[in-house]
Structure 1
């Protein structure tokens, strides 16, 4: 288990570093072509390779981080029963969306995110739905478990809250990736919601709720029973990825997009922090107590 934990932390650090390099490339290097021109030939080739594949690396490291996390803290069954529906259903939504415009609006992917499945959706996109979706759902479910609500209400609320956290991330991600000088996708028919169609929001919420709902049914009734420290990785993944989109949005777009930032913080960052804070540092003694065989049977 210690080796898995070490690998998880290493992947998380690599994920964060690759996002930081991505920010440097997008915000500092690409806008200054004279810097690139001054590099030797091998340097230009290395930079070109990093910019062409940087998006793939950080998404792969994010998926690896959350896979290792789930394996250690949730178990293999819960990991696979979340990952497979998340990848399969999000890919289906993305293929439908890029083909028909439903459920996200008419859009298409450009280059920089890896090989495109069916020539439409980069293979990394479903992986990002998985690792961000899992982080959001675990935070939501662990927080809802702290309430005294009936189990079915807790689980239903976790699905809804998890999908809202996921969509709040998109409030800063979509502008950063589609409306800046170096986009990774584009809307074919710009919408009235800061360049996006309103149905993009419902598409995100609906897709998130769909695969989170499937995972909930497979996971069944047993609670996660996680301590606060065991939520550090999901919270870090969420905050790091939110910050990546937020920095690009704030520095590359006009001040009207600060509304998107405030919406993202209100519906994403603050709830994620509150959910993390609501989980106890240690499980209480009664909850941790396992009766002996004699006590389970009962003694006179």
Structure 2
């Protein structure tokens, strides 16, 4: 278990460091290529690595950190039961989107995110759906106390909130990543939301809701009880990826997407994380009280 925790933390740190390198490369090096000449040999090598594979590495490490975390806290079975629907359903949506325009609109990926499946979708994209989708769903599910008082509406609420957190991150990321000096995807039909079609966000909500629903059904009604400290990794992953997208958007001059993301993504995520501790306390105390009551009755009968 200790080795698993170490691997998880190393992956998380590498994920965050890779994002920082990516920001430096995209925002400083690409617009000012002459800066590389003033760096040391090590610095030049680091920048070249960042531009060549930084995007691929940060998504692989993010997926690795979340998969290790989910395996440790939920069990391998439930971790895989989220991974497979998230990857397969998001890949299907992305392949449809890049070939037909449904459900996101007409777009295609450029270079920089790794090998393209069927020549259309970089293999790293379904991984990003998985790790951002997983942390979003776990924050929503724990914050809504789904397993303290199980009900259909709480499960629906967790899926809805998880999908909203996931889509709110895309509010901030998508406009910037498609309009930087070195864009990663291109819209054939730019839309009204800072170059994004509104259909794109409907596609994100729908795709996230579908694979979260499938995962919830595969998990059945098995209890998932988290203390606030156990949700630190999901929150850190969500906030660090939001910070990456925020820096990109602000550098591109897009402040409204950031404000929307803060309102609909960051604020609910922190609130749900904060609520999780109270939910766990109730689960822990109630059985203890019941045991004491039963014990008292037995003594009285004697």
Per the normalisation by structure 2, the TM-score is 0.91
Match of 2:285 in 1: 286
Q: CA deviation at 1:49?
A: 3.6
Which of the residues 260, 276, 296 maps onto 1:263?
A: 260
Cα separation, 1, equivalents of 2:81 and 2:41: 47
Match of 1:228 in 2: 228
C-alpha contact 1:97 1:105 (8 A) present in aligned 2: yes
Q: CA deviation at 1:149?
A: 6.4
- Report how many residues are paired: 294
User: Residues 37-74 of structure 1, C-alpha deviation per residue, up to 9 Å, x if partnerless?
Assistant: 45688975663343121101000000000001001111
Cα separation, 2, equivalents of 1:66 and 1:35: 35
Q: Structure 1 pair 136/291, CA: closer, same or farther in 2 (3 Å)?
A: same
Query: Is the partner of 1:280 in helix, strand or coil?
Result: helix
Q: Structure 1 pair 64/148, CA: closer, same or farther in 2 (3 Å)?
A: closer
Q: Structure 1 pair 211/29, CA: closer, same or farther in 2 (3 Å)?
A: same
User: Residues 159-217 of structure 1, C-alpha deviation per residue, up to 9 Å, x if partnerless?
Assistant: 00000000000011101210121110011110111111110010000000000000011
Alignment of 1:12-31 (within 5 A): 12-31=12-31
Query: Is the partner of 2:281 in helix, strand or coil?
Result: coil
C-alpha contact 1:146 1:278 (8 A) present in aligned 2: no
User: Residues 123-178 of structure 1, C-alpha deviation per residue, up to 9 Å, x if partnerless?
Assistant: 00000000000000000000111798651111110000000000000011101210
C-alpha contact 2:147 2:225 (8 A) present in aligned 1: no
Structure 2 unaligned spans of 5+: none
Match of 2:134 in 1: 134
Query: Is the partner of 1:108 in helix, strand or coil?
Result: strand
Match of 1:97 in 2: 97
Cα separation, 1, equivalents of 2:5 and 2:41: 40
Q: Structure 1 pair 72/287, CA: closer, same or farther in 2 (3 Å)?
A: farther
Cα separation, 1, equivalents of 2:244 and 2:47: 20
Measured on the aligned residues, the alpha-carbon RMSD in Å equals: 2.4
C-alpha contact 2:90 2:126 (8 A) present in aligned 1: yes
C-alpha contact 2:30 2:181 (8 A) present in aligned 1: no
Cα separation, 2, equivalents of 1:195 and 1:226: 39
Deviates more, 1:275-284 or 1:94-103: 275-284
Q: Structure 1 pair 288/169, CA: closer, same or farther in 2 (3 Å)?
A: farther
Cα separation, 2, equivalents of 1:33 and 1:45: 14
1:247 aligns with 2:247: yes
Q: CA deviation at 1:36?
A: 2.5
Alignment of 1:176-255 (within 5 A): 176-251=176-251, 253-254=252-253
Query: Is the partner of 1:145 in helix, strand or coil?
Result: coil
